Structure 1
Amino acid sequence: MKTRLFSTLRVLQHENPLGLPRTGTIPRMQRGLPERRRIQHVRKVIAISSAKGGVGKSTIAVNLALSFARSGLRAGILDTDIFGPSIPTLLNLSGEPRLSANNQLVPLENYGVKSMSMGFLVDDAAPVVWRGLMVMKALQQLLHEVEWGALDVLVLDLPPGTGDTQLTITQQIELDGTVIISTPQDIALKDAVKGINMFKKMNIPLLGMVQNMSLFTCPHCQNSTHIFGSHAGVMHTCEEYGIDFLGDIPLHASICDDADRGKPTVVAEPDSDRAAAFMAVAGQVGKNAGLFDST
């Protein structure tokens, strides 16, 4: 029987839920708040957050990482959603990561982007039935025990909400900024504002907001409709909170189809208007984060 990195026995090992071999070089958590650390050999770390599910955050995150790679940067993406990882599907990747000589996880790679996800360590249909302590320990290992090599930018795809995962990341990692994703309707914007206030409270730079799925253009009659009401909801929020509006991603069937088949729009349709929208957002994010200053 094939040996997995993840096993029932290792689930019971609270200090090491992913079952990585111990080298004695990984610092343990101390009492009180942990000290923020850089991820080794990664120049910029950018978190993508929505504080609400269903607004297309993971699709945008992976297209931004691919846009950075298309711009000539060494890019990676870390899926920090322990319970519902999306990156393996979006990047058409599967299988277990191997261990490096330093007993760290080696990222999988596709389309020129390195990636790591809980989805590589468990079967597709297997639920991760863990309490908070196990989740936090696993997240710490994904943050600190992956051998990325030299990267210009690492994109963190955050799960929805403003809870344990977000706090662990903001307290342990030196983030160079965060991007907030929202659709224009009020119910999404209310949660987005909670995310804005959380990152401000944690002193994390806000690089701006992206408005997703605001405009639908019918492929048959070519008429355009703002299906979520006001097309300027995110722009108004940016003005109110003094942050940059990074761009607008349209609602288009091919963006969803591209994601479902594991070939995101920036790769599947590089010359399309949709890909251009992702590239424009990535350019603005990179500018605000100082990514292009010394590359």
Structure 2
Amino acid sequence: MKDRYIETEIGVLPEDWEVVKINDIANYVGSGTTPRGGADVYKTEGITFIRSQNVYPNKLVLDDVVYIDEATNEKMKRTILQDNDVLLNITGASIGRTAVLPSGFGRSNVNQHVCIIRLKEFFLPIYLSQFINSSFGRKQIDSYNGGSSREGLNFKQVRDILVTAPPLPEQRRIAEILSATDAHLEKLETIIVDIQLLKKGMMQSLFTRGIGHTEFKDTEIGQIPKAWGVKQFKDIAEILMGQSPSGDSYNNDSIGIALLNGPTEFGSVHPTPIQWTTKPTKICTVDDILFCVRGSSTGRMNIMFTNSWTQNPENKINYTHE
């Protein structure tokens, strides 16, 4: 048990730890490019071409991975990946997601949306990945983009990210604990998916057949119990659109009122705020339904559990409880 601590720019740490910048622990920071010709040059086999949609917190997801040929890879030889490279998404909605290329992964390269961080021998890649994916890393990345519509990190910003640096044996122990936790979470996620599929089937039946009904009628959405009706949202709810506050009011320190920008904060039922504003414009209250109306997340919903503030692209729906 450590009994001596020091104050640092990141917070109180054990006295034998340091705070370093990624620039201090990396031999290389850079990103790839999109091959000339774009998607037309992608292959169904060859050299794995990792894009931002393949990089998730502490893991690579290769469901929709694409490949490039030898000639394309040779033109991009500066960003040919090596075992244990740390891969950081630096643009778009997935900015900040970080994973490590596993040892023995095979030949691979990246596009311009993925930054390669190649570490010096004294720093553990999986420790850095876990750190960047934590609130300590997330807060720094968000600070670069606060109040701006541009979601992107440049290489200087990546190099300037501050990281806690325990001695290497302790880095290894911390990484092992967190990686084991990730493995358990992944197993739980598989169970949750199975239960969600079961629920989906139950919902199809319950929302159209009900419980114990024997008489049914045809409607614009299909057969439903004879005693039921069909209504539109406008008949049962007040629907309001969110509105963005001024960018200078954003903060990550829980000052003001929670700011919900979109599905980034959405959970399975309730949202989890990661940003706040001191100049709210549209307030949502307990039991309001938040409904995404733009982009790939259109249709996703959450229920508010406390007073908060909503911003595009969400509608606030107040039900009339009829």
Q: Same fold (TM over 0.5)?
A: no
Question: What TM-score, normalized by structure 1, do the two folds share?
Answer: 0.23
- Rg larger in 1 or in 2? 2
Question: What TM-score, normalized by structure 2, do the two folds share?
Answer: 0.21
